[in-house]
Amino acid sequence: ASSEILREESERASNADLKDLLAYGFAIHHAGMTRDDRNMVEDLYSDKHIQVLCCTATLAWGVNLPAHTVIIKGTQMYSPEKGKWCELSPLDIMQMLGRAGRPGFDTEGEGIIITQHSELQYYLSLMNQQLPIESQLI
């Protein structure tokens, strides 16, 4: 049933990449997509038709989409204000990982962080709640 639904929905998608991926149970979600495509992906994922969803970090803040496994591929984001690549904040990382194993949706979850070796100790400390709190107020 899911494959038929995904085939039908892929015909409605305006994003060419999404059209290609949906038939295989994969989807993408990012701000450059139309609102209709994003809503369709959110609904299909919530209804468990989509098995793998690749998305930008912004999805972690907006929509309530629990997952069993969250993979963070890369822990840096380009900051136009600073003109360079910066590490995601601990709050952003924890918010993204918090999508995994949500009570009421799953009994457990897993989070995977793919980062540079030089950041390994930082993320181990974050996961063990051993990072000092730093104010971001200026």
State residue 39's pLDDT score: 95
Higher pLDDT, 135 or 16: 16
Q: Are residues 2 and 51 both part of a single domain?
A: yes
Q: Are residues 26 and 76 both part of a single domain?
A: no
In a domain, 137, yes or no: no
Q: How confident is the model over 52-69, as pLDDT tens digits?
A: 999 887 777 777 788 999
State residue 1's pLDDT score: 65
In a domain, 71, yes or no: yes
In a domain, 111, yes or no: yes
Higher pLDDT, 32 or 59: 32
In a domain, 102, yes or no: yes
Beta bridge partners of 67: 100
State residue 58's pLDDT score: 73
Its domain, for residue 48, covers: 1-56
112 in helix, strand or coil? Answer: strand
Higher pLDDT, 9 or 57: 9
State residue 138's pLDDT score: 61
The two tokens of residue 101 are 């194993």
State residue 70's pLDDT score: 92
Domain boundary among 13, 32, 56: 56
Q: Are residues 43 and 70 both part of a single domain?
A: no
In a domain, 103, yes or no: yes
Angle between the 120-127 and 90-97 helix axes, to the nearest 10 degrees?
A: 60
Q: Are residues 32 and 50 both part of a single domain?
A: yes
Q: Are residues 26 and 85 both part of a single domain?
A: no
